[in-house]
Structure 1
Amino acid sequence: MQHTTGRRARSTTLAAGTTAAVAALTLALAGCSSDDDAKAAPSSAGSSASATGPVTLVTHDSFSVDKKQLAAFEKKTGITVKIIKQGDAGQLTNQLVLTKDSPLGDAVFGIDNTFATRAVDAGVLADHTPADQPSQAAQYAVDGSDGKQQLTPVDYGDVCLNVDHAWFTKKGVAEPKTLDDLTRPAYKDLTVVENPATSSPGLAFLLATISAKGEDGYLDYWKALKANGLKVDQGWEDAYYTDFSGADGKGPRPIVLSYSSSPAFTLSKDKSSTTTGALLDTCFRQVEYAGVLDGAKNPAAAAKVVDWLQSTEVQSTIPDLMYMYPVNPAATIPTAWKKFAPLATKPLDVPAADITKNREAWIKAWTAAVVG
């Protein structure tokens, strides 16, 4: 998930990341412990105990990590971590592909399941499997062409449309509930989403509309949205913090593409209610990954950074820092999330093989129809 408030692609193995598998993971996170962790063999990236030195971690703009935890990790391991941010997840992936012959860093965090095959197919990543990877997380791992893991799952969540309750109450307008509602005159000029060519939530929402409307109908739906005053931003940051009225009350649009967990961060002063809400019938499930970059200057230390991102201590900070659910079942999830950050029971889904085959064509067709 991509939020900066304190903090938002697939190979053949991502077929495990279908709705059924996600449901299994959700149940596992609710009741499993680290006793179920799967012990995987160390990878070719080299997670040697002696790995030290500088590591450049390339991420999307919404990456956030606890500074005290990072300092403790650096002191314990002798690794120093430099963080470089490269826009939204789509921009991040594109930059990694463009610079694969001269990598921007040693490790990456923020490639998601809508862009993962682009990175894997381009040869951006090195093989690496964390030794203590939980089995509940391993089912979402993305392999390279050699069948070895290249992308390590770190968090997951639902990309959904969000509404500003206060705006609709003040205006006396009924809140939308479905995708079709957004094309109605009552919601003209009220919606802002992200561009699927540059934004992972934007691409997730494009896939949601393809799932809901089919390949024969999704472009007509987008044309109807455009005719109804849709605004498209390059990334989540601009959409949520500049154009959305519910983030700080200053944006002009009360409907935004964000995450189902976003309402847990717009609570009333007494924390008994939230000022925003997610439309759970519009959601697409997103998984975010970390990996070691092929050609990294310090691959062994980079592998240790990837492993650390999947550790219980880091995973327990993910809800508060990055608005996502942790993949490690031993991690702590805030109590408020049960009420204010629910996951969709039936998220919209597109098979991994279809995303791999059609992603670029779908984006090109969307761009022609919506951006022009």
Structure 2
Amino acid sequence: MNRRTRRTLATTAVVALLPALAACTGEDTPGEAQSSPTTSASESGTPELSGTVTLVTHDSFALSEGLLESFESETGLTVEQAAAGDAGTLVNQLVLTADSPLGDVVYGVDNTFASRAVEAGVFEPYTPDELDPSVTDLVDPALEGLTPIDKGDVCLNVDTTWFEDEGVEPPSTLEDLTDPAYEDLTVVTNPATSSPGFAFLLATVDAFGEDGWEQYWADLSDNGLKVTDGWSDAYYVDFSGAGEGGERPIVLSYATSPAFTVTEDGSETTTAALLDTCFRQVEYAGVLAGTDNPDGARALVDFLSSAEVQADVPPNMYMYPADDSVELPAEWEQFAPLAEDPFDVAPAEIDAHRDEWIEQWTATVIG
């Protein structure tokens, strides 16, 4: 079983418990830390952990088998998981249920959507002690309560085998995708529901400016663009390079994705990331305001930022660990480099124009 298949199975195993969780969690208002009936202070002043901690994630969360179980064994906590959909859907759910949180901890809120959740009072202020300096460099003061867990570049990927077989030169830039030579070949995700989709929209805003990005998307749409709600469908259902029967050889994914399509002998990969199309993404974890188990929630955030979990991020979640001191898989240097000059939009600009840009994109592409 290859890594991409194993990751899909791990994702499928995370059961979406959102309605039940919304009904079961407390009614505390965000920002009001409550005393937990499941924790008590030991003689040393360190909380004794017990009870259940619910970890709410996006659908692509996955850790190696036994890692969460080890955390449970060491702490006495029980971790339940709930998947809320893609990261955009996750943030929407968090905002809508801010007065009755879906769980205790969230993982998967990223820098394209995070400010919306922060403004809605979704998170309790908390940052783990002794983070590596490379992690603290990623901490955004405007995103109080969020700890960086991983980072990566959202980029277009191509199925190099498909292009070789068809005798077609693959694209390399954003502008290339509007060429009739690539008609009906591209699939991306919806920026209203997908954080990679929104990251890619931001890349085009930076690339073409306020006066040009809408026309770019109109041209892309006219060239047979397909849009899906989430990354998993785009990559595993529509992308020909995933080995699942897809028919489109250009997909919105990550710069790290080619490290997961390496041939058995390790000599080459069958896909490639277009590094001139990338937007840098950071994903965070945070304690949800109103948690019923604040000490357990903080312990889980500490665990997610630990070196053990950081080292487990690349082979399971396609992302670079936030901690640069963590050793990367050997093949990443060759097959999964980060972009040297990714596109970027300032958080304040994202905050000010997110809804406007998504509405404009929807009108242009979906109609």
Q: Same fold, TM exceeding 0.5?
A: yes
For 2:132 and 2:210, how far apart are their aligned partners in 1?
A: 36
Structure 2 residue 193 is the aligned partner of structure 1 residue 198: yes
Q: 1:214 aligns with which of 189, 200, 209?
A: 209
Shift of 1:136: 1.3
Conserved? CA contact 2:237–2:244, under 8 Å:
no
| Partner residue in 1 for 2:294 | 299
| Partner residue in 1 for 2:65 | 67
Conserved? CA contact 1:156–1:286, under 8 Å:
yes
For 2:266 and 2:4, how far apart are their aligned partners in 1?
A: 20
Q: 2:349 aligns with which of 346, 351, 354?
A: 354
Shift of 1:69: 1.6
Shift of 1:143: 4.1
Paired residues for 1:36-185 under 5 Å: 48-143=46-141, 149-185=144-180
Q: Which amino acid aligns with 2:337?
A: P
For 1:300 and 1:279, how far apart are their aligned partners in 2?
A: 43
For 1:131 and 1:114, how far apart are their aligned partners in 2?
A: 25
Q: Which amino acid aligns with 2:338?
A: L
| Partner residue in 1 for 2:234 | 239
Structure 2 residue 277 is the aligned partner of structure 1 residue 282: yes
For 1:347 and 1:143, how far apart are their aligned partners in 2?
A: 22
Aligned length, in residue pairs? 332
Conserved? CA contact 2:303–2:309, under 8 Å:
yes
In the alignment, structure 2 segments of 5+ residues that lack a partner are: 9-32, 40-45
Q: Which amino acid aligns with 1:312?
A: A
Conserved? CA contact 1:141–1:150, under 8 Å:
no
Q: Which amino acid aligns with 1:303?
A: R
Shift of 1:249: 5.1
For 1:45 and 1:188, how far apart are their aligned partners in 2?
A: 56
For 1:55 and 1:5, how far apart are their aligned partners in 2?
A: 28
Conserved? CA contact 1:194–1:201, under 8 Å:
yes
Q: Which amino acid aligns with 1:53?
A: G
For 1:205 and 1:300, how far apart are their aligned partners in 2?
A: 37
| Partner residue in 1 for 2:11 | none
SS in 1 for 2:248: coil
Q: Which amino acid aligns with 2:214?
A: L
Conserved? CA contact 2:53–2:297, under 8 Å:
yes
In the alignment, structure 1 segments of 5+ residues that lack a partner are: 9-43
SS in 2 for 1:55: strand
> 1:338 and 1:45, CA in 2 relative to 1: closer, same or farther beyond 3 A?
farther
Shift of 1:4: 6.3
Q: 2:365 aligns with which of 332, 351, 370?
A: 370
Shift of 1:151: 0.4
Q: Which amino acid aligns with 2:86?
A: D
TM-score by length of 2: 0.87
Conserved? CA contact 1:4–1:62, under 8 Å:
no
Task: Give CA deviations for 1:217-269 in whole Å, capped at 9, x if unaligned.
Answer: 00000000000000000000000000000001510100000000000000112
Paired residues for 1:2-41 under 5 Å: 5-7=5-7
Identity of aligned residues (%): 57
Q: Which amino acid aligns with 2:90?
A: L
For 1:161 and 1:330, how far apart are their aligned partners in 2?
A: 27
Instruction: Specify the structure having the higher radius of gyration (Cα).
Output: 2
Q: 2:260 aligns with which of 255, 258, 265?
A: 265
Give me the CA root mean square deviation: 1.8
